[in-house]
């Protein structure tokens, strides 16, 4: 069972007007997708974003963006530096590989010595 998480890579406060409540405080957050299993941790190159009002807590979707919000988004999007896409194996993976290789080697040794 793989657990998929969005890890925050960049946050910023925007001083644009919220299209819903016309408050001046907005928050932009960029996330990167990470997948965790018992055998590996995978970092994808998928980056998502979210703009949220700090007063009414509504998410502002790109359909509702004004030109000012779009310019600020493009600016912050240039500042985002995601982690490289990678695949890291866990200790459990290496222990199981060593165990399987040991069993195969032991089986070959016993076969060559005539015990099997």
Domain ranges of the chain: 3-89
pTM above 0.85, yes or no: no
> What contacts 24+ positions apart, CB below 8 Å, involve 41-44?
41/87, 41/88, 41/90, 42/86, 42/87, 42/88, 43/83, 43/84, 43/85, 43/86, 43/87, 43/88, 44/85
pLDDT tens digits in sequence order for the chain, 116 residues long: 789 999 999 999 999 888 888 888 899 999 999 999 999 999 999 999 999 999 999 999 999 888 999 999 999 999 999 999 999 999 999 999 999 999 999 999 999 998 87
């Amino acid at each position: 069972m793989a657990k998929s998480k969005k890890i925050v890579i960049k946050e910023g406060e925007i001083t644009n007007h919220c299209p819903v409540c016309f408050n001046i405080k907005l928050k932009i957050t960029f996330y990167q997708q990470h997948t965790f299993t018992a055998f590996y941790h995978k970092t994808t190159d998928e980056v998502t974003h979210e703009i949220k009002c700090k007063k009414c807590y509504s998410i502002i979707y790109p359909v509702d963006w004004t030109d000012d919000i779009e310019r600020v988004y493009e600016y912050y999007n240039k500042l985002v530096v995601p982690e490289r896409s990678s695949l890291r194996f866990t200790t459990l993976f290496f222990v199981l590989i060593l165990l399987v290789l040991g069993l195969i080697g032991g089986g070959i040794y016993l076969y060559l010595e005539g015990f099997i």
